[in-house]
Structure formats: structure tokens, C-alpha cells
Structure 1
Amino acid sequence: MDKQIEKHQSSIFINNMVESAIRIGLLLVLLIWTYDIVKPFIIPVLWGAIIAVALMPLTLKLANALNGKRGLAATLLALLGVALLVIPLVMVSGSVYDGIAGLTEALQEGSVKIPGPTQRVAELPLIGEPLYDVWALFASNMEAAVTRYSEEIKVFVAAVAGFLGSSLATIVMFIISLLIAAGFMAHAESMSKAVQTVSVRVVGKHGEEWAKLTAATVRSVLLGVVGVAFIQSLLVGSAFFVFGVPAAPLLTFIVFVFGIAQLPATLVVLPVILYVFSVQDTTPATIFTVWVLIAGLSDNFLKPLLMGRGVSIPMPVILFGAIGGMISAGIIGLFLGAVILAIWYELFTTWLKLDQETVSEPAEPELEQKAQSENN
């Protein structure tokens, strides 16, 4: 009798296990298919949500000035964002394309003439003599120089072509994300309630608090990291344009990327300073040096002004987020990765603090009872 009961229970267990496995398998297949369907939209929707959170205070102020027309305010901000984010990329891509097209045409016609280096170039520390030799070879015998450095030239051209393709994809992604952000900002109340409901359901009683912390972190990173990098690149780039530095749009964009990755702008500025001193007189070169050095160090006083209070993100977190995001999602991942990793850092540190508070709370009555027993 016992064996029959045991056999029956075993049969029920096996049936339940098989049925559960089938259900889990079907659910897994459904999730995989769903992910494949929504995968192309994850990054633009996520980036649109981040932009909407960062621009929401400005949207409310603009809506009040427009008699409560929040949809119009969101649309205007989206169009302004398209102009501010897309125009620099278009300038950089256009500058690189024009330079390559002109160089290609000149090479085909055989009319490329590079002025020879001055003695100042050879006197530069560390890189002076090698740079002088390479420059002199290209100036005196272009065909021999191209033949000698053909592999390096091919790698450079491939990198530039990849950059142009990535820039075009990024422009399209930015436009889509800004349109999505405009929709989020126009329906902010319903979106906010939905996010808070999901947060409470997933996290628990601290869900609403964590949702507010996430919004504060997004604003802090976009203003204190992306905003500072944008202002710094404008200050440095204006010097490049005023003093006629070659490839000024591309160098300005590199300064912008370095600013987001929390790398010092002086890494870009110092070689340009050496170049300016080698081709211009001492007075304008000195003015250029002072200008770009002050602009390159401007992040030291801009960050305390723009970075949100109470939200302090360590530099390695931003650096890893920016580099990892760029590797995984291209140029737009440069912004997205820094924001996402900063959010996770803040949520993790907050969770640790909550855990410590939870552990310390039960200990207090025990300490009181122990103190009372010692007094007795």
C-alpha cells in the first residue's frame, strides 16, 4: 500500500515537473521572441526616457510660459535638442568627408604639395625628430611616403569610414530618441505614475524613493558630465576655429568625447599647442595656449555648478560606463552607458545603506535591555 502511494506521488511529481518545465520553456521562448522584436527600439526608447527625465523641469517652465501647452513646449525642446546634438556631428562628418574627398582628388591629379617642416618641429621634445623626418618625407616625395606608410594609411581610412557610418547612424538615433522624449514629456503624469507603480511592485516599499533617486541621477549625470563636456568642447573648439587649426570640428568632437569619458582635455590640447607653436609666431601661439589651457581646465569649476547636489558619481563609474557603452552601442552608447552605470551605482549604494539601517534597527532594543540589566 505504501509503495502504491509512493509510486502515485512520484508520478504526480514527475507530471508536475514536466508540466512546469514545458510552461517555463514556452515562457522563455516567448521572452526571446519578444526581445528580438523590441531589440531595435530598446536604445532609442531608453535614451528618450533619459532625455525626458533630464529636460522635464525645463519643459514645465516653458509650458507655463506657453499658457500650459506642454505638448508644444516638449516639441520645441525636442527640435532645439536636434539642432544642438545633430549640427556638431554633421559639421564633423562634413569636415572629414570634404577633407578626404579633396585629398583623394589631389592625389589623383598629382597636385598634392605639403610645405616642409621648419626647424622648430625638430626641436620639439621626444617627438620632434621622428615627426620632422616623416613630415619631410611626405613634403619631398609623396609617392615614396605613401608606399612606405601604405598599411597605416589603410587603417586610418578604414577608421574614418567607420566613424562616418557610425555618425550617420547616431544622427538618426538621436532624432528618434528626441521624438520619443517629446512624447514622454507631453504625457509626464501618466508615465510617472506607471514608473512608480512598477518600481513599488518590483522593489517594494522603497520603490517610489528609488524612482526619484534614478531621476535625480539622470539629471545629475547629463548636466554634470554631458553638459560640462559640451560646454568645455565649445570653449576649446572656439580656439581651434579662431586660430585656424586643421580639422577643428573633428578635434572639437574628440574633446567632447574625452569630456564625457572623464579624460582630461589636455590630452588633445597639448599636441595642438605644439603644432601651433611650430607654424605661428610666439605671441599668437601664447594667446592660443592660455585660451585652450583655461578652457581645458574649465570642468574643475563647471562640475560643482552643474552636478546635482547629493549625487556624487566616482570617475571610474562614468569612465567605464562611457567606454563600455561606446563599444556596445556606438557613439550614442557613450552617453547612455555613463548614465546607466551611474544609476546602478546610486541604487546599489542606497541599497547598502538601507540594508545597514535594517540590520541596526533590531539591535537597538537589545542594547537598551542590556544597559538596563547592567544598571540593575
Structure 2
Amino acid sequence: MNPNPSPAPASNQVIHYALQLLALAVLLVWCFNILEPFLIPLIWAAVFASSFFPIHEKLTGKYGWKNGLSATAITVAALMVMIVPAVFFIIAGAGELKELFQNVRDHELEIPSPNEKIKDWPLVGERLFDFWAHASSNLTLTLQEHSEQLKPILLRLVGLLRNTASGILLLMLSIIISGVMLAYEKEESHFARRLFGKLGGREGEQLAGVAKQTVQNVVKGILGVAAIQTTLVGIGLVVAGIPFAGLWIILSLILAIIQIGILPISIGVIIYIWSTDGGAIAVALTIWMLLVGLIDNVLKPIFLGKGASVPMLVVFLGAIGGFLYSGFIGLFTGAIVLTVGYKFGAAWLNSTK
């Protein structure tokens, strides 16, 4: 009898498991590569579906609408409210930018002379007045002298319009997909609970609810507040007759979403209106822009953390960190990931084992 049994069976079993894991890895990577072109629209669709669900639940429950009718109505309303104004601003901004390039090329662009009161402004008054006066008297020469500084700015503006237009198409597709998700909400909720249950054990279903609530809060607290602010800014700029209002509205939306705020746009608009008008319109626009700039301080704490089972700071840091890490979609995925991590960490700290 051999006292040292052969390790061959154990080795064969290890090789068998290794091959199974390798085959599974290849299959997962292959599936991911196939789905990758649709990944961002699907994530956006899930975000919108989660955000629209309270409305869908009220329509199907309280008012007795069918799932399909409710999902269709919400999808059409979302397209009208979100896409139509965005397309309008994009077309207006593109037209204004084209007009600007045309006027510069034909030497027809004129800048009004600065107000003498600008000289009295602290720190920058004299230099700003001299630059403005030089540009108003000979714009072509001013543009030639600063062509190296202006070229990258103009290229970024063109790129901004192009990226915004592609983003609108992405949002349109995502909203349509979200309507399909709303129509099959029960099946998707069951799948999500099972998935989170497999990943998180007993805490899984609770984490699924937290993720859903977090998405709704972030949409209301960041995207919703940014949309409200931008709409109010646009009303003020259009009524006051500010040139290139479409471009400033787009920039205001981006600055509001990334949490810089509309202050840079407000300062520029206020300087312009007081330098060219200085009357009742300037006073009204200044008050309007200041009030609009303060709206997020009131709405954001209400919407961003309302009903959340985690501290508002966690949601906020997750949204901003996610944006810095993976762009606009990171506003949502970052908040969800950080919230789930926070819940896991809290469960670990509170455990007695």
C-alpha cells in the first residue's frame, strides 16, 4: 500500500474550477463589450425611471391608470418639459455663435463704449475701462492682439455646443427607455431586490430601497434645482435683452450642475447691464439675478436630503466626487455608490461580531 496518495485528483479539481472561472470571466467580459454602447443610456434610463416612479405610482394607484398609459404619459411629458426647452436653447446658442463668427469675419461686430463710472471700480476699474474702450474703437485690432487667448475659448464654446447637443440626444433616448422601464416596474423591482439580496444578504433589500431613494433625492436636489435656476436665469436674460442669451443659459446650466453656481454668469451680466443701461432694467435684473442665485441655498437642503436614510453630506459628496471621477452621469452613480458603501460601513461598525 502506498503511504503517499497521489495528489492528482485534487489537482484535477483545482484545474477544473480554474477553467470554469476562466470561462465565466470570458463570458462576462464578452457580454459587457456587447452591452457597452448601451450602458450609459440604460443607466440614465434607470435614473429617470426611479425619479418618475412616485408620479407613476400615484397615477396607477390613486387614479387607476394602466401601467402602459401612465408610462407613456410620463414619457411624453418628460420629453416636452426637458427636451423641448433644451433644443430651443441649443438652436438659439448655435445661431448666436454663428452670428458672432460672421460679424467678426465681416468686421461688423460693434461693442458699445464703456461707461465712465467703470473707472471708479476698485482694483480693475482702470484696466477694464481701457481694454473696453480700445475694443469699442478698434475691435479688429483688439481681436488680433489677443487671438492666442481667444482661440481656445472659442473652440471650447463650439465643443460645448456639440457635446450639449449629443447629450440631449442621449437624454431623449434615455427618457424613452425609462418609459419602458416604468411599464415593467414590478418585474424590475423584483429583480433588483433579488440581486441586492444575493450581494448584500439580509441587508440587500434595504440597500435597494436606499439606492432608489438616493437617486430620487439627487435628481431633485441637483438636476432639479439646476434646471429651475437655469430657467429663471433664462427668463431674466431674455426679458432684459442680454446679447447671446442662449450661450449664457447653457453655461449657467453647466455651472449649476457641477455646483459652481451661476455667480460667474451673474457677475458678468450685472456688469454688462450697468455699463450699458444703468436704469430700471439694470436694477430689476440685478435683483432678479441675486434672488435666483440664492434659490439653491433654500431648495437644495430640502430636496437633496429629504427622506434619505443617510446623512445629506454623504449624498452630496458622492454626487460631486462622482462627477469629478466619471463626468455628468457620476452625479448619480457616485451618490449611489457612496451611499451603499456608507451603509455597509455603518453595518460593519454596528455589528457585534
Give the TM-score normalised by structure 2: 0.89
Against the structure 1 CA distance between its residues 92 and 133, is the aligned structure 2 distance closer, same or farther, given a 3 Å change threshold?
A: farther
Q: Does the residue aligned with 2:202 lie in a helix, a strand or coil?
A: coil
Contact kept, 8 Å, 1:265 with 1:296, in 2: the verdict is: yes
Against the structure 1 CA distance between its residues 193 and 89, is the aligned structure 2 distance closer, same or farther, given a 3 Å change threshold?
A: same
Paired amino acid for 2:87: V
Q: Distance in 2 between matches of 1:61 and 1:344?
A: 28
Q: What per-residue deviation string (whole Å, max 9, x for no partner) do you get for residues 26-77 of structure 1?
A: 3333222221111111111111111111111101223357642221221121
| Root-mean-square deviation over aligned CA pairs | 2.4
Q: Distance in 1 between matches of 2:267 and 2:101?
A: 29
Paired amino acid for 1:193: H
Where does the alignment leave 5 or more consecutive residues of structure 1 unmatched? 327-333, 363-376
Q: Does the residue aligned with 2:312 lie in a helix, a strand or coil?
A: coil
Q: Distance in 2 between matches of 1:214 and 1:142?
A: 54
Contact kept, 8 Å, 1:260 with 1:322, in 2: the verdict is: no
What are the residue-to-residue correspondences of 1:77-92 with 2, within 5 Å?
77-92=74-89
Q: Does the residue aligned with 1:285 lie in a helix, a strand or coil?
A: helix
Q: Does the residue aligned with 2:351 lie in a helix, a strand or coil?
A: helix
Contact kept, 8 Å, 1:233 with 1:255, in 2: the verdict is: yes
Q: Which residue of 2 aligns with 1:313?
A: 312
Contact kept, 8 Å, 2:93 with 2:245, in 1: the verdict is: no
What are the residue-to-residue correspondences of 1:37-56 with 2, within 5 Å?
37-56=34-53
Shift of 1:243: 1.1
What are the residue-to-residue correspondences of 1:267-282 with 2, within 5 Å?
267-282=264-279
Identity in percent: 26
Against the structure 1 CA distance between its residues 267 and 23, is the aligned structure 2 distance closer, same or farther, given a 3 Å change threshold?
A: same
Against the structure 1 CA distance between its residues 62 and 130, is the aligned structure 2 distance closer, same or farther, given a 3 Å change threshold?
A: farther
Q: Which residue of 2 aligns with 1:348?
A: 341
Contact kept, 8 Å, 1:313 with 1:342, in 2: the verdict is: no
Where does the alignment leave 5 or more consecutive residues of structure 2 unmatched? none
Contact kept, 8 Å, 2:45 with 2:174, in 1: the verdict is: yes
Contact kept, 8 Å, 2:229 with 2:296, in 1: the verdict is: yes
What are the residue-to-residue correspondences of 1:1-376 with 2, within 5 Å?
5=4, 8-9=6-7, 11-64=8-61, 67-307=64-304, 308-311=306-309, 312-314=311-313, 315-326=316-327, 334=328, 336-359=329-352
Q: What per-residue deviation string (whole Å, max 9, x for no partner) do you get for residues 182-208 of structure 1?
A: 011111111111111111111111111
Q: Which has the larger radius of gyration?
A: 1
Shift of 1:300: 2.1
Shift of 1:245: 1.8
Q: How many residues align?
A: 349
Q: What per-residue deviation string (whole Å, max 9, x for no partner) do you get for residues 313-364 of structure 1?
A: 32433322233332xxxxxxx2x312211112222222222223322xx6xx
Against the structure 1 CA distance between its residues 170 and 123, is the aligned structure 2 distance closer, same or farther, given a 3 Å change threshold?
A: same
Q: Does the residue aligned with 1:96 lie in a helix, a strand or coil?
A: helix
Contact kept, 8 Å, 2:322 with 2:334, in 1: the verdict is: yes
Shift of 1:155: 0.8
